Amino acid sequence: MVAEGLGPQPAVRLRAFTKNYGRLRAVCGVDLDVDREEIFGLIGPDGAGKSSLMKAVAGVMSFEGGSLEVFGTRIDSEKSAESVKERLGFMPQGLGQNLYPDLSVDENIDFFSRSRLVPAKEAAERKKGLLEMTRLTPFRARPMKNLSGGMKQKLGLVCTLIHEPGLVILDEPTTGLDPVSRRDFWTTLSVLLREKKITALVSTAYMDEASRFHRLSLFYGGRAVAQGSPDEIMAAVPGALVVCKTERQSETLAGLKKSFSDVQVRGSWLRVFVKGADEQEAVGRVGQVVGEGVAELRSAPAELEDIFIALLREKGLVVESSRGVSDMTDSAMPARIEEEGRGGADIEARNLVRDFGGFRAVDGVSFRVERGEIFGLLGANGAGKSTAIKMLVGLLPPTAGTGYVAGRSMLQAPRAIRERIGYMSQVFSLYTDLTVVENIRLYAGIYGLDRGRSRQRTDWILEMTELAGHEDQRTESLPMGVRQRLALGCALVHGPRILFLDEPTSGVDPIGRRRFWDILFRLSRNELVTILITTHYMGEAEHCDHLALMHGGKIVADASPGEMKRRLANETGGLLEVKTDRAAEAMEALREAGFQGVSIHGRQIHLLAPDREAAEHRIRKVLAEKNIALIAVSQQPVTMEDVFVHHVMAMEANGGKSR
């Protein structure tokens, strides 16, 4: 349908869209157009308003203000919403949430095709094609509940697409998936959209997925902060990123914080986004502040998170901290460091195994965490990270193997270990009906602190977590990022020397994550607290001094993030970005030609190649044979996602054996 003089109508059009939950405004006057046959992304943290908007577009939720049109139909009543639902496919948030766990793959697809009134012959043909494309054909008889997370999401996509809708609405379909499954999912979606001419509206909390979209909108606090193509968003805030490495990391960080608003620690590197400056000017300005003794100082590509945070600051959506990064210290810590010493390993896992019935959740895991180190366990949901931590802290007995924490055997001295550690669990850490200070005092009592020590530690935690002034606020009313800082404070109330954090930043917005990592950096560098942290965010891997990648209960790689990327670059070559006029077809052609690590990112292709010149020559030849125009080939830095995917694929090719 074409409106006279206006060109094709968008698949979705919102104007001043507003959604309220009582007094809470979840979406605040958003304008948004989703063009036909594009993948449009909504990127933002939990609570940003993405799901509310998507449910309204899907016709399963009402809204309080503005207008919404889907395929030219104004959605202003239940009747109008029902009139377009046959042209929509909706996949809600959560692994397999639109599926039936006790039904097999075949039975789930058949159920959805019948409920969508797809004729039997067409349903059979579509099912065959979709199963082949998603590589689910060998698992047709397997119950959905026994599928991996990636398989569940691909099955959910098949069931969403079985009636060939014009618009698919996918709410955080890749959350919790490992990088291999995420790439597989995006590849499947891109190919399906190309072949079926479908439009997709997709939400995600992962900033690194921005390149997967043709266009996107950054969401924060119910507002659309910026919209456009990934390149347009990256150009929204002029500036340059500078990275530096110095032996005086804490001192240098404090100096940079006084001169620049956006400074971040990532392992041994300091990152500074200098707004409004080109690369040369930015390097010069940072160099003046850091002075002598810098091991390395150079410009680096900015990331979407840098731009997102700069935009939030521009729009006044971020409340800045008034305190420097190193102003806070625990007065009891220096004496304890002197007493316990500075060297040696604080955590050691030796061939840990844990079985649940016939399922092996942790399979021969070994690693070592040095005193004062930030050590990361990186992997998707179900990789075995939380189980490994629970064994080390004494919450689960191992099936085999052993471990040592604070010099004590986890099998022989679990009580002594618990006195020396702080543990922040993934599921439960706080009592939401208690106030901030009541939670802190409760944990102080549990750990046996007397009244004087409890008062001292409470004051220290309030200062460290920037919660002074919020002492009497009920925990349930705190934003996720603030709540997680409080949970961290409660885990530190007894002054532990070792800290176990199980996915503490899941669902936290980028500002909250950066503040959380600032605290971890101070604890590690200034007070020599040893930190073991789990995460499924690839970007958070860069914050760690050392990293172990987990997949299927096994360690697939163990080194510093920088070393992992260097090894991959040396082994397989650099990462190339290929721009073409037909990305999905180009991806298939390059895979068939034998290129490594080929994946689709919106309108670009990423692949690994040891020789750029030779690879570019081959790429031109392969694409020319398919009559696909090559626009450009450029070198890109290797990412932790590339590292993870490479190691997992190598492990699977080696019959499941790691390293």
pLDDT in tens, 118-173: 999 999 999 998 888 788 898 999 999 888 777 888 899 899 989 999 999 999 88
The domain in which residue 424 lies consists of 333-559
319 within some domain: no
Q: What CA–CA distance (Å, rounded) separates 467 from 490? A: 12
Residue 571, pLDDT score: 85
Same domain, 550 and 567: no
Residue pointed to by tokens 């190193």:
326
Residue 398, pLDDT score: 95
Residue 127, pLDDT score: 92
Domain's final residue, options 223, 254, 278: 223
Same domain, 468 and 521: yes
154 within some domain: yes
Complete edge-to-edge strand list for the sheet that includes strand 530-535: 421-424, 498-502, 530-535, 374-378, 546-551, 554-559
Is residue 296 within 8 A of residue 573, CB to CB? The reply is no
Same domain, 218 and 287: no
658 within some domain: no
Same domain, 106 and 57: yes
Domain's final residue, options 200, 223, 246: 223
Per-residue pLDDT tens digits for 79-114: 999 999 999 999 988 777 789 999 999 999 999 999
Same domain, 307 and 338: no
326 within some domain: no
Token reading at 659: 């390293």
Supply the CATH number for residue 288's domain.
3.30.70.1510
Supply the CATH number for residue 139's domain.
3.40.50.300
Same domain, 598 and 628: yes
Domain's final residue, options 189, 223, 257: 223
CA 283 distance to own-chain centroid? 29
Q: Which helix (H) or strand (E) holds 52?
A: helix 50-57
Same domain, 502 and 437: yes
Q: What CA–CA distance (Å, rounded) separates 383 from 379? A: 6
101 within some domain: yes
Instruction: For 427, list phi and psi in degrees, rounded to 5.
Output: -100, -50
Is residue 409 within 8 A of residue 451, CB to CB? The reply is no
Q: What CA–CA distance (Å, rounded) separates 60 from 37? A: 23
Residue 319, pLDDT score: 57
Same domain, 140 and 207: yes
Is residue 635 within 8 A of residue 576, CB to CB? The reply is yes
Residue 657, pLDDT score: 58
Report helix angle 333-340 to 510-527, nearest 10. 50
Residue 542, pLDDT score: 87
**Residue 627 half-sphere exposure toward CB, CA atoms < 13 A:** 0
DSSP state of 10: P
323 within some domain: no
383 within some domain: yes
Q: Which helix (H) or strand (E) holds 121?
A: helix 120-134
Same domain, 549 and 628: no
Q: Quick one: what percent of the chain has pLDDT higher than 70?
A: 93
Of residues 177 and 216, more confidently modeled = 216
Domain count, the chain: 4
Same domain, 413 and 300: no
447 within some domain: yes
Same domain, 360 and 462: yes
What confidence category does residue 376 fall into, taking pLDDT thresholds of 50, 70 and 90? very high
State the Rg of the chain over Cα: 26
Same domain, 19 and 156: yes
**C-alpha closest to that of 262 among 253, 317, 208:** 253
Residue 515, pLDDT score: 83
